[in-house]
Chains A and B, each alone.
Chain A
């Protein structure tokens, strides 16, 4: 029984952490250009450096 008082909050906390991460990534626009992100890794520099 004592274990439960530790384990349940830990389990819920980890789940909530995942949920929070998803909601954050959603609101910070990480799902807006899925194809572009895959291509960007192949490009040499960021355009800023060429300026």
Chain B
């Protein structure tokens, strides 16, 4: 079975790239390693390639015989390998090398996620188990009381209930008490305040009642309330942890250091923080530039899309300047570092992003908004009841207090506490199935309220990889050679050509090599053949009559020059998505760093009303800020590093999973499917979720309308409280479950509807 075997890389430039990664990886591993009490050292590696039982066996068998390895344990669920070495002197390098050779390229796990299990989830599960146990047992005892247990038996049952309920309320209620205290410290009220108050008072009053030997005990209400709420909270936490983990596993490795050329000609790998201006750094093809600098040797094409958003590679020669984070495509280059890593382009964008996040209009979650109204209402109602009964009974404090606490218990927002999290958990699960990862529950609430959508162009509306629209390579032999040459290079145009010629049989050539900054060259039947930059290819061609502008050229020595033109391919579903949004009355806008002409073409084709071209990251951010100031709620969809500040500043933001790391981190949601229809579906789900949340609130309020008068008039008994609470919770959960059946509307059906898009209103290109 070779389902897990990965290709072993033999290419020279790639080996060098791999070495750099290995060194950074081992550095990272060392800094995150845990020393066990017996002196052994434990390393945790993330290996996304693990996917079957066989992988576990392969990894454990191949790694455990290595010298210095104490034990290896692969985890299939978390896709991790836990590696224990005999002592701190042993290096994990061998194991890492072996893993890469086996095809499981490991990645390091940051310190905060390297814990065995999410500690917060563990605590929630413990609280859930304890309160579940308590709820079941106390409820059993309560049922006997309701069935007419009297005298000593009733007292005994109340006493046993107290014994179970008090410690479990103290332990199970911790997450709520903490959150409530936190909110009160910030002089706010959230749902956890009435919850904590209700549970604590119910327990305290029942204790008092049990000890004086009479009346009603509400232990069952207190613990089952906690149990229900903990279920909601645990689900919520698990959903978010899962989405977060999935988003993190997508993170690609950015440059974490560079190869510094020493005076004696050797290269030495240094981490990012140690790179100083004036150092000579060698960057292999396929690597990202670690810091800003100028080229001092070599030539290459670089992908600057994370800076400009433009997909076409830029040719780079002597004394050209490069930004950190841009990708070196074709040849090795030596650069002279001009700025330190923390002053580099990426760092600038990151700080801009942090500022944007701080300035984001403070959104108040719907549950907290409700809590601000609801909590005072509950507390005033309880206080009024207390005073009313005090007057009515001429100073019977005990009676007045009992009724007031009953009001607090019945209004304790069990259903309200479940209304939002359950709906959002179910929606998040539905979105997760559709390949949309949500980082935060409030993102759905915010998405439901949008008035504007701002798109980035390259990589968002377009797929980011160009395609061949027309070519003059028509001869089958030329096509075959061109395909062989195109397959050699990772240049986007070459890849496009290889895809375009996928049906053609590649012809064998000799002496195939890449000429940095120019293209690919080889010998076919004694003749030189070239694919690449126009002027370089024209050197060997006998004519270049039919030259098409945008793509690379191709020629066999002595034959006419062939050329091709490139076009941007629209992302799947782009047209229908824009059309749907326009029909929903949401204003669409295009914010691009690209040249005016292609931006205009895309905007016209899709029917986007307004477009802006040649925007710098700061200008995109300004555009979003202007929206917020004007009261527009904008969804930003973008992928590049240049979009990151705008993503962070927008009311809500989405990024495709192909986005730059920073972009994915900044966005509220990440969609993993190719189609832009994900945006429409997410909007649908957001609207449906909001509708269900409102229905849930309405149900909870209806229940209060019936139950509160009973409580205020002193008619409430523990049986009614228990029934009312469970029923309302079950209804709310059942109502929310409907969200799971939400389906994306049929694409075909949408496409057949003739869509009249809004007239173009060209905005001045800034």
Q: Give A contacts to B, CB under 8 Å.
A: 1, 4, 8, 11-12, 15-16, 18-19, 22-23, 26-27, 29, 31-36, 38-40, 42-44, 47-48, 50-51
Contacts and interface: CB of A to CB of B under 8 A. Distances in A.
A15 B136 contact: yes
A16 to B, nearest CB: 7
Interface stretch (B12-20, B124-132, B710-718): B124-132
Contact of A32 (B65, B78, B153, B160): B78
Nearest to A12: B137
Contacts of B116: 29, 32
Contact of B74 (A15, A19, A31, A36): A36
B156 A4 contact: yes
Given A11-B137, A12-B164, A29-B117, A36 B61 contact: no
Interface of B: 52-53, 56-57, 60-61, 64-65, 72, 74-78, 116-117, 122, 125-126, 129-130, 133, 136-137, 140, 152-153, 156, 160, 164
A32 B82 CA distance: 12
Given A15-B137, A36-B56, A22 B78 contact: no
Nearest to B122: A26
A23 B72 CA distance: 26
Given A33-B76, A33-B77, A33-B78, A19 B129 contact: yes
A26 to B, nearest CB: 6
B52 A39 contact: yes
Given A15-B137, A47-B72, A40 B53 contact: yes
A39 B126 CA distance: 27
Contacts of A15: 133, 136-137
A16 B65 CA distance: 44
Given A15-B136, A44-B57, 4 more contacts: A8-B156, A33-B76, A48-B64, A51-B64
Nearest to A27: B122
19 contacts: A4-B153, A4-B156, A8-B156, A8-B160, A11-B137, A12-B160, A22-B129, A26-B129, A29-B116, A32-B116, A32-B117, A36-B77, A39-B52, A39-B53, A43-B53, A47-B57, A48-B64, A50-B61, A50-B64
A-side binding surface: helix, strand, loop or mixed? Answer: helix
A27 B160 CA distance: 28
Contacts of A19: 129-130, 133
A6 to B, nearest CB: 13
A26 B140 CA distance: 26
Contacts of A27: 122
Contacts of B78: 32-33
B56 A40 contact: yes
Q: Which of B52, B117, B136, B153 has the most CB of A within 10 A?
A: B117
Q: Which of A39, A42, A48 has the most CB of B within 10 A?
A: A39
A42 B77 CA distance: 16
A42 B152 contact: no
Nearest to A16: B133
Q: Which of A1, A22, A42 has the most CB of B within 10 A?
A: A22
Contacts of B126: 23, 26
A23 to B, nearest CB: 6
Contacts of B125: 26
A34 B140 CA distance: 33
A23 B125 CA distance: 9
Contacts of A23: 126, 129-130
Contact of A43 (B57, B72, B75, B156): B57
- Which 5 A-B residue pairings sit nearest by Cβ, starting from the closest? A39-B53, A36-B76, A47-B60, A35-B76, A33-B75
Contacts of B136: 15
Contacts of B77: 32-36
A39 B52 CA distance: 8
A44 B76 CA distance: 17
A36 B164 contact: no
Nearest to A43: B57
A18 B136 CA distance: 13
Nearest to B117: A32
